[in-house]
Chain A
Amino acid sequence: MDKEKLVNEAKAVFSREDVACLIGYGKDSIGFRVSPIFIRTRDEADQLFFSPLCSLSLVNYLTLEKGVLLEGNKETGGEKIAIVARGCDSRALIQLFAERGIPREQVVILGVPCRGTIDLKKIEGKFPDARNCTEVTEAEGMYYIRFDNESHEVPKEELLADHCKHCAFPNPLVYDVLLEDLVDSKGAAYSDIEEMEKMALEERHEYWKDKFARCLRCYACRNACPLCYCDDCILERVSPQWVNRSVNLSENLMFHLARSYHLAGRCAGCGECERVCPVNLPLMLLNRKLEKDIKNIFEYTAGSNLDDKPLFASFNPKDPNDFIF
């Protein structure tokens, strides 16, 4: 994306709106890494950038520590928070607005149509010694990558983050400023889920056992998720203690049942849970399985429409009933 356009629009937002903080992407000093940055004055906006390396979602910062983004701007007394949002982020935002996690009026959205992002683990695995990446661009199915004194061309498929492969909403669905022309989108694809559904029950159980046994219960998947923002999380409850603290297969399964179910009809598909997992659990499989079923049965897609009621706060008398005595 054109950096100049991004910076100018960000500055314009500061001049036009009552913004206390703008959350955007900044280049990190090491390798291919990109960090969330918090811009508090117009001039700082020069640090902003966007590239296919921007695989992390910024939406969770809106709800992370209430009020922290608004502080420190006593002079201007800004009331709003601006955020750079891709398609999936906009879905998360819509969901947040619908659940009243944060009021729509408080957020200024700089929408970025997204062509898919690069999985950091994949690119770091391919170029482990890269020190300073200066540019990554995309054209016709190829990534053009420059770092240190090298330049490389890599087919997009090779580096694309898995959840981006299945993305049906690359364009922001809600925004105040649109930073680029909209891109083509394709329908959601669930072929991998369907493959798994064909497995025998026991086989699937073995598959997940192997995965959940690895879980460290670091709760990074929860904390990175833009939609896990309860003040009082059941995982921290002691009475009742829904999930015991022991780290073993049973409790890990309890945790993952709770986590994925809690995102049923809410998951925005940003893939943060999978991206942050230090032990590579394929958590998006769970989320997308539910997304698929909910879409097919209830014709509901989370975060796709500002006027939708949350899935579990609504019903249809014709909902499936044949599993009930």
Chain B
Amino acid sequence: MEHFLLEKNRLNEFLSALRNYEVFAPVRKVGLTVFELITNPKEAMLDLKNQPQSPKRVIFPQSEILLVFDKNNAAKEPKGRVGQKPQVVFGVRPCDARGFHMLDPVFEREYPDPYYLQKRQSTLLVGFHCSEPYPNCFCTSVGGNPSSPEGLDILLTDLGEQYFLEVITSKGEQVAKEGAAVLSSPTSQQQTEKEKLSGMAPQKIRRTIDTEGIASKIEKHFDHSLWRELSGKCISCGICTYTCPTCHCFDIQDERVRGRANRLRIWDSCMFPEYTLHASGHNPRPTRTERLKNRMYHKFKQNIDLYGVPGCVGCGRCITLCPENVDLVANLKVIKNL
């Protein structure tokens, strides 16, 4: 597909040109970078670091009202459930974009999920080549790459003064057209420069694990006593699941607030005891051991069985943010070496 050049100081103009889109971009809030709907391009902060949350929530929000009803009125869909305008998510890390690739089959197959799919189809992902990976990134070990265009519609690479803009999909082409006024074409030198950067990127990833055969190991050692040790320090909070770009478990609940009621979908976390609690009071995953094992099993065994790839993009958030340093890569190594 086509290649362009975008002067860094014209980035705001480029964003302003996207009048037909709702633009989500990383903004700085309370010392963190979070994805939010922006009205002024100046708010956007192209900081790929320090994003505790993936942009997953733009398409798959943490809580989403599906129906509203009250005593007198039959249930109806809330107004404005689907964005009127198509959306652009700007400043996505390639691993997070791959995350959407992992979510797609979950919401597409068997029971197509309109809430997710409509938003997914009308959302465009503009990604950034990840030139400075986090200390805990391990995307190259799970089939990713810091400069991978997979899942993205447009990929930008930082060349210093300019961004090298690659159009990946036809959706991306449309956006490039809207912003055409501020785009120019790259020289062949810039093209080589970009390729050089992409080539260098994977070497910057410092954590690696060979995931080959991990699925069968997990299967084989499902009842091993080591799991108990691995989970010893886990405190059963939801950080790893809620910050994960590929975790997708949700719950559906009816909630009453002031005479109205909402049926809503909310993220759930397999780290909570409540997640598997039966109405009878029985809990098939009563302790942290089963829960931690389940998360690894789901990502590195079940997901491979179902969709052919591990359900992990190697963004490293669950490692970095875990309050007690439960380390997924280290744990995988332990299992692998059994």
Q: List A residues at the B interface (Cβ < 8 Å).
A: 28-31, 33-38, 56, 60-61, 64-65, 68, 72, 128-129, 131, 210-211, 214, 216-220, 222-224, 236, 241, 244-248, 250, 272, 275-276, 278-281
A211 to B264, CA, bound (A): 23
Flag if A276 contacts B30 (CB, 8 Å).
Answer: no
How far does the alpha carbon of A272 sit from the alpha carbon of B253 in the complex, in Å? Answer: 31
Report the separation of the CA atoms of residues A104 and B231 in the bound assembly, to the nearest whole angstrom: 26
The answer to whether B274 and A276 have CB atoms under 8 Å apart is: no
Q: Does B324 make an interface contact (CB < 8 A)? A: yes
Given contacts A219-B237, A248-B63, contact A30 B274 (CB under 8 A): no
Q: How far is the CA of A60 from the CA of B324 in the complex (A)?
A: 12
Q: How far is the CB of B249 from chain A (nearest CB, A)?
A: 13
5 tightest Cβ-Cβ pairs between the two chains A and B: A276-B323, A220-B237, A218-B238, A223-B235, A223-B237
Kindly list chain B residues whose C-beta atoms are within 8 Å of the C-beta of A222: 237
Q: Is the CB of B52 within 8 A of A218?
A: no
Contact indicator B235/A224 (Cβ below 8 Å): yes
Residue of A65, A220, A236 near B288 (CB, 8 A) is A65
> Does B184 touch A at the CB level, under 8 Å?
no
CA of A279 to CA of B51, assembled, Å: 10
| Also in contact, A36 and B262, with CB within 8 A (given A64-B235, A216-B238, A245-B255) | no
- Chain B nearest Cβ from A285, distance in angstroms: 13
- Separation of A223 and B291 alpha carbons in the complex (Å): 15
- A279 CB to nearest B CB, Å: 6
Among B63, B251, B272, B325, contact of A33 (Cβ-Cβ < 8 Å):
B325
Query: How far is A158 from B306 in the complex, measured between Cα atoms in Å?
Result: 49
In the complex formed, the residue of B with least CB distance to A210 is B30
- Asked whether, in the complex, the Cβ of A245 is within 8 Å of the Cβ of B63, the reply is yes
Q: Which residue of A has the minimal Cβ distance to B330?
A: A29
Contacts of B272 in A (CB 8 A): 219, 236
Inter-chain contact A214/B30, CB cutoff 8 Å? yes
A35 touches B266 (CB 8 A): no
Across-interface contacts of B135 in A (CB, < 8 A): 30-31, 128-129, 131
- A29, A35, A281: the one contacting B233 at CB < 8 Å is A35
Do A218 and B239 have beta carbons less than 8 Å apart? yes
Does residue B236 face the partner (Cβ distance < 8 Å to A)? yes
The answer to whether B255 touches A244, judged by C-beta atoms less than 8 angstroms apart, is yes
Asked if B121 CB lies within 8 Å of chain A CBs, one says no
> What is the CA–CA distance of A221 and B142 in the complex, to the nearest angstrom?
31
Given known contacts A65-B288, A129-B135, is B242 in contact with A246 (CB within 8 Å)? no
Flag if B262 contacts A246 (CB, 8 Å).
Answer: yes
**What would 7 more interface pairs be, CB under 8 Å, given A245-B251, A279-B53?**
A28-B327, A30-B319, A60-B235, A65-B287, A241-B255, A247-B267, A279-B52
In angstroms, how far is the closest chain A Cβ from the Cβ of B205?
13
Query: For residue B243, which residues in chain A have a CB less than 8 angstroms away from its CB?
Result: 216, 278
Q: How far is the CA of A56 from the CA of B326 in the complex (A)?
A: 14
Residue among B53, B239, B264, B269 making CB contact with A246, cutoff 8 Å: B264
Determine the chain B residues whose CB is within 8 A of the CB of A214 once the complex forms.
29-30, 32, 34
Q: Which residue of B lies closest to A241 (CB)?
A: B255
Distance (whole angstroms) from the CB of B322 to the closest CB of chain A: 9
The interface residues of chain B lying within 8 Å CB-to-CB of A61 are: 233
Residue interface bits B298-332, CB-to-A below 8 A is 1, else 0? 00000000000000000000010101110100100
Measured between beta carbons, the chain A residues less than 8 angstroms from B239 are: 216, 218, 220, 276, 278
Contact of B30 among A56, A128, A247, A279 (CB under 8 A): A279
Q: Which one of B30, B266, B319 lies within 8 Å of A280 (CB-CB)?
A: B30
**Residue ID in chain A nearest B251 by CB atoms:** A245
Task: Determine the distance from Cα of A236 to Cα of B238 in the docked complex, in whole angstroms.
Answer: 13
- Of the A-B pairs whose beta carbons lie under 8 Å apart in the complex, a sample of 24, sorted by A's number, is A29-B327, A29-B330, A30-B327, A33-B325, A36-B232, A37-B233, A38-B232, A64-B235, A131-B206, A210-B29, A214-B29, A214-B34, A216-B238, A222-B237, A223-B236, A223-B237, A241-B255, A245-B264, A246-B266, A247-B267, A272-B323, A275-B323, A279-B52, A280-B30
Cross-chain contact B324 with A236 (CB below 8 angstroms): no
In whole angstroms, what is the CA distance A270 to B150 when docked? Answer: 44
B-side contacts of A241, CB under 8 Å: 255
Minimal Cβ-Cβ distance residue in A for B52 = A278
Report chain B residues within 8 Å CB of A248. 63
User: Which residue of chain B lies nearest to A276 when distances are taken between CB atoms in the complex?
Assistant: B323
Query: Quick check: is B136 within 8 A (CB to CB) of the other chain?
Result: yes
Given contacts A216-B62, A220-B238, A245-B255, contact A56 B324 (CB under 8 A): yes
B129 to chain A, nearest CB (A): 19
Q: Which residues from chain A contact B321 at a C-beta distance below 8 Å?
A: 278
Contact, CB under 8 Å: A279 / B63: no
B160 at the interface (CB under 8 A from A): no
Measured CB to CB, the closest approach of chain A to B37, in angstroms, equals: 14
User: Which residue of chain B lies nearest to A36 when distances are taken between CB atoms in the complex?
Assistant: B233
Asked if B242 contacts A216 (CB within 8 A), the reply is: yes
A218 and B269 contacting across the interface, CB-CB below 8 Å? yes
Query: Are B236 and A245 neighbours in the complex by a CB distance under 8 Å?
Result: no
Residues of B with C-beta under 8 A to A276: 235, 237, 239, 323
Cα separation A178 to B92 with both chains bound (whole Å):
51
B136 near A30: Cβ-Cβ < 8 Å: yes
Complex CA–CA separation, A216 to B238 (angstroms): 9
Contacting pair B32 A279 (CB below 8 A): yes
Given contacts A65-B287, A280-B32, contact A247 B233 (CB under 8 A): no
Counting chain B CB atoms within 10 Å of each CB, the highest count among A38, A217, A272 belongs to A217
Q: Is B80 close to A, CB under 8 A?
A: no
